[in-house]
Amino acid sequence: MSSDFSSPAPAAAAVYDATATHDAAADLPALRVYAPGRAELLGNHTDYNAGLVMAIAVNRGITLSARPLRDGAIHLRALDIHREYHGHVDQLHPSATESWANYVLGVAFQFVNTGRRLGGFSLEITSNLPMGAGLSSSAALEIATALALAEMFGHEVEPLALARIAQKAEHEFAGVKCGLLDQISSLMSAATSVTSIDCRSLQVTPVAIPSGGVFVIADPHAKHQLVTGEYNERRASCESAARKLGVPFLRDITSAQLEARREELTDMEYRRALHVVGETERVALGAEALAKSDLATFGALMFASHESSIANFENSCPELDTLVTAARRHAGCLGARLSGGGFGGSTINLVRAGQEESFIQALKAAWPKTECLVTPACAGATVLS
C-alpha cells in the first residue's frame, strides 16, 4: 500500500479521490477516514518503558472508504497492493495468508472483545505511506479502522481508549508488543507541533516547533520487519533489567543510578537500559530546547540518540548509519537519527529551512537508493465524511 516516496505529497483531497471510482457503484455513500503516519523525533523504545517520547504526524497516510454491511460479512480490499480478504464478524481471527488484513481484523476483535458490538463492514484501503519505512503504516491502518468502526456503529470512544484498542490489536493479531507512541501520534497530533507523550500518565502535550527548520525523512530501503523478533527481544531485555533493578519500569531510574548499579545487570541489559534511560532524559532536554527556540540543541540530542541506538540498543543498520553520517557532514543539518523501532526503516533529519534540497542530494550521493520526503508536523487522524 505505498506510492512513490520521493514525489510531492498530494493534497488530502487528492488522496481521498483515489477511492472515488470504487464508491460510485455502491448504493450508499462511503464513510471516509484518514490517518497519518508518524516520525519519532526523540524517545526511542521509551513508550513501553513508561518513559517520554516526541513525535510528529507526517504528510503521508492511509485513507479508508468504509460501509456497514447487514449480513455480518467483512470485505477488505487493499487497492494499492491488489489484495483482498473476506470473512465474517462472528469469526474474527488472524489471517495466515493476508497479514496486512490482521491490523484491521485485530481492531474489530478488540471492539467486540470490549463489548462494542459490530455488524459486517467493507473497507477499501489506499495509501501513500510506504510500508517498511519506519513511519508506522501499521498504526495508521489501525487508527483509521478504529475511527471508521466507531463512527459506523455508533460507539463513542475517547481518544486514548481508541489508541489502546489499536495497540492491543497489534499485540494480539500482528505479534508485535508495541507501546502507544505510534497510535497516539497518528490519532492525537496537532499541526505545527511536536507531540510530546508521557507514556506513564499518557499525558499528551503539543509543543510548538520554532521557525527555521524543516523535517526531512530519508528512506534507504533497508529491511524493516519487527515481527521477526528483534523488537520483542529488546522489550524483554528492558523488562528484565527493570526487574533486577527493582523498579516497575526503566522510567523509574536515572542514568546516575543505573551506572551505580551496573554490576547487577548483564552487559546487554545494562546497554539496553542505558539507551532507554538516556532517551527519556533527552526528551526532557529536547522539550526545554524547543521552548527556548534552540533548534541546534534539539538537533544535537537527535545525533546523540542515534549514537546510543548504535552502541547500546543495537537497533540501527548500515544503511541508516550511512545516512546519519552523511547528514552530520552537511552544514545545513542540525540533527539526524533513526526513526521508530529500527532494524531498518528511515532516518528523521532536522534541516535548516532553505537547505533541504542540497541536503537531499547529499544523502542520495551517500546512498543512491535513498528516497526523501520533506514534511511539516501535521494534524492527526480525522473522519472526512
State whether residue 142 is helix, strand or coil: helix
Task: Please state, in angstroms and rounded to a whole number, the distance separating the CA atoms of residues 199 and 172.
Answer: 20
Distance CA 135, CA 378 (A): 13
The residue ranges of every structural domain in the chain are: 12-42+53-195+379-383
pLDDT in tens, 195-214: 999 999 999 999 999 999 99
Q: Which three cell numbers stand for residue 55?
A: 513525535
Digit-coded pLDDT (tens) for 16-74: 333 333 333 345 678 999 999 999 999 999 999 999 999 999 999 999 999 999 999 99
Name the residues annotated as catalytic: 182
Question: What percent of the chain shows pLDDT beyond 90?
Answer: 84
Which CATH number applies to 12-42+53-195+379-383?
A: 3.30.230.10
Q: Is the pLDDT of residue 303 over 70?
A: yes
> ∠94-99-104 over CA atoms, to 5°?
65
In which band, very low, low, confident or very high, does the pLDDT at 7 lie, cut at 50, 70 and 90? very low
Q: Which of 302, 152, 107 is nearest to 217 (CA)?
A: 302
Buried/exposed code over 236-248 (b: 16+ C-beta within 10 A; e: otherwise)? ebbbbbbeebeee
Q: Which cell goes with 50? A: 513508561
Q: Model-level pTM?
A: 0.87
Best CA proximity match to 320, nearest among 62, 125, 331, 328: 328
